[in-house]
C-alpha cells in the first residue's frame, strides 16, 4: 500500500505503554467546530492528512514506514503525509488555521499548544483518551504537563517522545587536547577556548544564533544560574536575574573568538553540520541529533553530557514532551485519534525514538535495547528521576509565548551577538515581555 507523500517541506517519570485504540462506529455526530461528522463504516475508505512539523531526511523515511504499518493494520484508512520544515512550521499552521484549511492530524510542538488551543484549532482528545483501553499505561506526569499548558486543562496533544538538551562533544578532540568532558561550566568555557585553532579552521563551540536559539539559551541560562522558577511569587520574571546577565556576557563572548562567525544565523541543520564536519568541538542540542552524529562521526568520536549543575549545586533541566494533535476541523475524529494513538504505541515509539534518538514515553519502550545502549538517554532518565532535580516550567501556556520568542527574542539575540544590543537590554526586554504576557494571562483566567 502506498502512502501519498507531499514534501513542502516533567517531574518524576513512570514510563508506560500506549497502544492503539478507539475504533470507528456509525452515527452522525458534530465535532467541536460544529460541523457534522460521520464515523466511517468498516469498509469505507477514509483519507487523513498528516503534517510533520519537522520534516527532513532524518525523520521523513521513518514516518513513511510507520504509515505503511498503520495502513496495513487499518486498510480502510489512507494517510497523506505532508512534510513541513521546522523553520516554517508555525507560520504554515497559522495560515492553515486562519483559512480553516487544517490537516486532520499534525505533529505539534508543546510550545504551540496554548496558542493553537486559544485559536480554537485543536480537538480536545479527552473523550477518546478516556475510553482508550491503554489510558492507564500512559505517563501520568507527561499527560498532566500537557494539560497544564492550557486554561481549560484539557488534553490537546498525545505525547510520544521526551527530550532535553545536552552538550555534544568530540571525544577525539578532547582526548588529543588532554581535556575533561564539559561536566562543569568552567570545563565548558575552558574547552571552548583550548579547542579553538583558527589556522586549522577549528573552533571550540558553535552557537545557535538563528531559528530555535532561545529554546537552547533558556536551558543554558537556568542550568548556569540554578534558578528553579521562570516567575517568582510576585509574578516577576527571572530572565534578567544578575546570574543570567553574567552568563550571557560570558556566552556571547565566545562568538567569533571561539566560534565561527557564521553562527549568528545558525539553525539546527547548520549547527549540526558545523559539529559533524569537525569545525566545532562542542554544540548544545537535545537527544534528537544523536543519529546524525553517530552516522557521520562514529561512536568513538562523539559523546554527550547533560548541561552542568549551577555553582550552587542545583540541577535545573527543561524536559519537554512532543507528540500529536487532532485538528478540530477534521471530519474523521475517531480515525484521527486511531492514528495518533498508533503513533504513541509501544512498538512504534521504540522504532521512532530509536531512529531519531529521543526518549520514549512508555515503560515497554524504555525496556528496549535501544534505551539500554544509549548512554545519554539513560543519563537523562536518571536525572529526571533524581528527587534533587528541578524541572523548569517554561510558560509555553501563554498564548503569545511563541510570538515573543520568534518575533522579539530571536532577532534581538542576534543583535546581542553582533554587538548592537547589550546583554542587559536583551534580558530586561525578555523579562518585561513575559511579565506582561503572564499578567494578561492571569487576568484572563480570573474572568
pLDDT in tens, 299-332: 899 999 999 999 999 999 998 889 999 999 999 9
All domains in the chain, ordered by first residue:
5-161+322-374 (3.40.190.10), 165-318+398-446 (3.40.190.10)
Q: What is d(CA 98, CA 85) in angstroms, rounded to the nearest whole number?
A: 20
Q: Which percentage of the chain shows pLDDT scores above 70?
A: 90
First-to-last C-alpha distance (Å) of the chain: 51
> 23-27, 43-47, 254-258 — which one is most confidently predicted on average?
254-258
More confident residue, 432 or 382: 432
Q: What is the pLDDT of residue 426?
A: 99
**Coil, strand or helix: which one is 78?**
strand
Q: Which three cell numbers stand for residue 172?
A: 577525539
Instruction: With CA atoms as reference, report the closest residue to 284 among 295, 268, 299, 297.
Output: 268
Q: Which residues pair with 323 in a beta bridge?
A: 108, 159
Are 271 and 203 in contact, with CB atoms under 8 Å apart?
A: no
Is the pLDDT reported for residue 250 higher than 80?
Answer: yes
Is the pLDDT reported for residue 375 higher than 90?
Answer: no
Q: What is d(CA 168, CA 271) in angstroms, rounded to the nearest whole number?
A: 11
How many C-beta atoms lie closer than 10 Å to residue 348's C-beta? Answer: 23
- Mean pLDDT for 288-307 is 90
Backbone angles phi, psi at 121, to 5 degrees: -90, -20
Q: What is d(CA 204, CA 258) in angstroms, rounded to the nearest whole number?
A: 6
**Coil, strand or helix: which one is 408?**
helix
What letter would DSSP give residue 166?
E
Is the pLDDT reported for residue 251 higher than 50?
Answer: yes
Q: Which three cell numbers stand for residue 165?
A: 538538551
Instruction: With CA atoms as reference, report the closest residue to 113 among 58, 154, 55, 72.
Output: 154
Instruction: With CA atoms as reference, report the closest residue to 335 among 78, 157, 34, 124.
Output: 78
Are 228 and 390 in contact, with CB atoms under 8 Å apart?
A: yes
Tens of pLDDT, residues 129-179: 999 887 877 767 778 888 988 889 999 999 999 888 999 999 999 999 999
Q: What is d(CA 160, CA 142) in angstroms, rounded to the nearest whole number?
A: 10
- Mean pLDDT for 39-50 is 83
Sheet of 302-306, strand order: 282-286, 165-170, 302-306
**Helices 213-225/410-418 angle, 10° precision:** 70
Are 348 and 66 in contact, with CB atoms under 8 Å apart?
A: yes
Backbone angles phi, psi at 313, to 5 degrees: 90, -5
- Mean pLDDT for 227-240 is 97
Q: What is the pLDDT of residue 228?
A: 95
**Pair type for strands 28-30 and 36-38:** antiparallel
pTM of the model: 0.73
- Mean pLDDT for 229-233 is 96
Q: Which three cell numbers stand for residue 250?
A: 560570558
Q: What is d(CA 106, CA 157) in angstroms, rounded to the nearest whole number?
A: 10
Q: At 409, is the pLDDT very low, low, confident or very high (cuts 50, 70, 90)?
A: very high
- Mean pLDDT for 347-369 is 86
What letter would DSSP give residue 386?
-
Amino acid at each position: 500500500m502506498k502512502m501519498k507523500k507531499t514534501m513542502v517541506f516533567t517531574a518524576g517519570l513512570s514510563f508506560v505503554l500506549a497502544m492503539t485504540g478507539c475504533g470507528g462506529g456509525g452515527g452522525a455526530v458534530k465535532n467541536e467546530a460544529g460541523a457534522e461528522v460521520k464515523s466511517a463504516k468498516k469498509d469505507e475508505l477514509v483519507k487523513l492528512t498528516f503534517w510533520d512539523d519537522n520534516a527532513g531526511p532524518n525523520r521523513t523515511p521513518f514516518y513513511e514506514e510507520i504509515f505503511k504499518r498503520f495502513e496495513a493494520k487499518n486498510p480502510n484508512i489512507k494517510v497523506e503525509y505532508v512534510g513541513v520544515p521546522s523553520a516554517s512550521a508555525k507560520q504554515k499552521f497559522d495560515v492553515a488555521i486562519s483559512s480553516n484549511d487544517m490537516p486532520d492530524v499534525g505533529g505539534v510542538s508543546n510550545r504551540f499548544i496554548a496558542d493553537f488551543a486559544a485559536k480554537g484549532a485543536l480537538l480536545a482528545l479527552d473523550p477518546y483518551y478516556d475510553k482508550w483501553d491503554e489510558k492507564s499505561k500512559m505517563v501520568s506526569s507527561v499527560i498532566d504537563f500537557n494539560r497544564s499548558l492550557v486554561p481549560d486543562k484539557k488534553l490537546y496533544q498525545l505525547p510520544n517522545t521526551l527530550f532535553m538538551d545536552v552538550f555534544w562533544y568530540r571525544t577525539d578532540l578532547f582526548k588529543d587536547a588532554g581535556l575533561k568532558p564539559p561536566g562543569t561550566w568552567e570545563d565548558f568555557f575552558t574547552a571552548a577556548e583550548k579547542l579553538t585553532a583558527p589556522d586549522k579552521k577549528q573552533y571550540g563551540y558553535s552557537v545557535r544564533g538563528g531559528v530555535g536559539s532561545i529554546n537552547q539559551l533558556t536551558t543554558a541560562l537556568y542550568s548556569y544560574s540554578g534558578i528553579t522558577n521562570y516567575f517568582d511569587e510576585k509574578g516577576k520574571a527571572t530572565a534578567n536575574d544578575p546570574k543570567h546577565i553574567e552568563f550571557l556576557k560570558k556566552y556571547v563572548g565566545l562568538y567569533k573568538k571561539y566560534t565561527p562567525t557564521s553562527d549568528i544565523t545558525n539553525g539546527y541543520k547548520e549547527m549540526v553540520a558545523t559539529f559533524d564536519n569537525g569545525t566545532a568541538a562542542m554544540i548544545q542540542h537535545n537527544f534528537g541529533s544523536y543519529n546524525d552524529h553517530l552516522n557521520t562521526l562514529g561512536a568513538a568520536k562523539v559523546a554527550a553530557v547533560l548541561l552542568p549543575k549551577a555553582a550552587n549545586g542545583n540541577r535545573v533541566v527543561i524536559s519537554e514532551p512532543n507528540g500529536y494533535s487532532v485538528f478540530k476541523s477534521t471530519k474523521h475524529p475517531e480515525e484521527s485519534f486511531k492514528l495518533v494513538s498508533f503513533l504513541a504505541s509501544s512498538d512504534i515509539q521504540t522504532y521512532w525514538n530509536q531512529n531519531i534518538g529521543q526518549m520514549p514515553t512508555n515503560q515497554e519502550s524504555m525496556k528496549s535495547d535501544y534505551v539500554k545502549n544509549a548512554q545519554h538517554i539513560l543519563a537523562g532518565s536518571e536525572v529526571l528521576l533524581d528527587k534533587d532535580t528541578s524541572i523548569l516550567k517554561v510558560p509555553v501556556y501563554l498564548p503569545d509565548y511563541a510570538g515573543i520568542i520568534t518575533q522579539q527574542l530571536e532577532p534581538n539575540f542576534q543583535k546581542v551577538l553582533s554587538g548592537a544590543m547589550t546583554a542587559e537590554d536583551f534580558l530586561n526586554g525578555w523579562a518585561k515581555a513575559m511579565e506582561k504576557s503572564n499578567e494578561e494571562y492571569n487576568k484572563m483566567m480570573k474572568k
